[in-house]
A = this chain, B = another copy of it.
Amino acid sequence: MAIRLSTRDADFAERFDALLAAKREVAEDVDAAVAAILEDVRVRGDAALVDHSRRFDRIDLETTGIRVTAEEIDAAEGDCDPETLQALAFARDRIEAHHRRQMPANETYHDPIGVQLGHRWTAVDSVGLYVPGGTAAYPSSVLMNAAPAKVAGVGRVAMVVPSPDGKLSPLVLAAAKLAGVDEVFRIGGAQAIGALAYGTATVRPVAKIVGPGNAFVAAAKRRVFGTVGIDMIAGPSEVLVIADHTGNPDWIAADLLAQAEHDVAAQSLLITSDPSLADAVEAAVERQLALLPRREIASASWRDFGAIIVVDDIADAPALADRIAAEHLEIIAEDADGLSEQVRHAGAIFLGPHTPEAIGDYVGGSNHVLPTARTARFASGLGVLDFLKRTSILRCGPEQLRALGAAAMRLGEAEGLHGHARSVAIRMN
C-alpha cells in the first residue's frame, strides 16, 4: 500500500518535500575500485579485460574472444522467436522515422553589418553503447540508444555487454544487428567503460559513451567524462499519472504497476482530483499485483515509494508535477492538453487514456531513454542531438573588421590581453 497525501493535510508541504527527498538508491562508494580498474585497463589493455572479466563475469575471454563474431550474432538471431524479431524491427522502423525528424539544420546568415555567422552540425565519429547484462538486458534499450546514433550519422557504434557465466541475451544481439551496431564486445563493468574510453588492442576507443549501468558503470562514466563524452547517469525509473474523474482506475493501476515492476527502487505516483478514483486505483493495484509475475518487485516499489496525492482541483496538478519533474508523465483528464501545457519539467508526456507509457517504451517512436530522479529539471531524453556537435562559423571582411575592431580591442585591453587587441590592430593599420 502506497502512502496517501492530500493537499488539504496540514502537513502536506512537509510530506510532499519528504516524498521528493526520498533516496531511492543507496549510493555505493565504488569510486576507488573503479579508478583502479580504469587505470589497469588504460595500462594493460586487453590483458586487464581478460582478468577483470574472469573475476566479475566468470568468463575466459582468451577462449571466447573479446569481440562477439558476426556468426555468433547471426546464430543468436536464429534462436529468437520470429514474431518478437518482427516486433523489434517494427519498433526500430518507428524509432528511426521519429528520430530522423530531429535532425537539425545547418545555418548561415549575414548580420546587418555583413558579418557572416552560422553553424554546422556533424556527427560524432564513434560511439560506445553500454548494455547491462543479466535481467536488465533489454533489447528495446539497444534500439533506443543505437538507432538515434545511426540516424545522426555516427560511423561506428561499438556495443559492450557483459556476459556473466558466458551468457548473452540472443534478443540483445539481434537488436544490435537490427539497429546497425557495428561491433559487439562481451565485456561489462568499469573495465568496459575503460576499454571504450582509452582503447585496447581489440577495442578501438570511441568519442562518446552512452547507456545505463550499475554503480560501477556510473562511476566509471563520471571519471572518463572529458576524455570522452557521456550521456546522463540514469537512476531508477519513475511514472507520475495525473488523472481527473474521467480516469479508468484499472488502466491507471496497470500503468503504475508497469513502472513498479522495473525495480524495487522504481517510483509510481498518482495525482488525482477525485478521491473516489484514488480509492479505486488503490484497490485495483492490490488486485492486479496478484496477477504479476514480478509482483514481489512491484509490491516493494509501490509500498516503499508509491504515493497517491489528492488535490482539490486538477488545475493544481501541474505545479506539483513540476516539483516532481517525472521521467514519465501520463495525463488522463478532460483537458489533458491544457494541463500538459502547464507542465514545464517532465522527460516525456503521454496524453490521454489510450497512451500507456508502455507504448512509449517500445513502439511509440519517441525515445525511452529519459531523465530520471528529477533531472528533467535540466536534462532531455536521448535524441539525435546527443550524437551531433555544432561547429560555429564566423567570417569578417575588411569592412566588418573595421566595424567590430575597436570594441574588440577595448575589451582585450580591459582584460589585460594585449595580444588579443594586437591581433585586431595589426589588421586595421
Alpha-carbon separation in the docked complex, A424 to B370 (Å): 21
State whether B417 touches A251 (Cβ < 8 A).
no
Across the interface, A423 reaches (CB within 8 A) one of B125, B228, B229, B251, namely B251
Closest B residue to A329 by CB, please name it: B391
Across the interface, A352 reaches (CB within 8 A) one of B365, B395, B418, namely B395
A residues with a Cβ closer than 8 A to B are: 81, 83-84, 86-88, 90-91, 94, 97-98, 101, 104, 107, 109, 111, 115-117, 119, 122, 124-125, 135, 138-140, 171, 207-208, 222, 225-226, 228-229, 232-233, 235, 250-251, 254-255, 257-258, 260-262, 288, 291-294, 298, 340, 343-367, 370-371, 373, 375-381, 383, 385, 389-398, 400-401, 404-408, 410-412, 414-424, 426-427
State whether B381 touches A390 (Cβ < 8 A).
yes
State whether B115 touches A364 (Cβ < 8 A).
yes
On chain B, the residues within 8 Å of A352 by CB distance are: 395-397
On chain B, the residues within 8 Å of A250 by CB distance are: 426
Looking at chain A's contact residues, the main secondary structure is mixed
State whether A343 touches B395 (Cβ < 8 A).
no
State whether B422 touches A288 (Cβ < 8 A).
yes
Alpha-carbon separation in the docked complex, A333 to B420 (Å): 22
Closest B residue to A407 by CB, please name it: B87
State whether B362 touches A412 (Cβ < 8 A).
yes
Alpha-carbon separation in the docked complex, A406 to B90 (Å): 11
Alpha-carbon separation in the docked complex, A90 to B404 (Å): 9
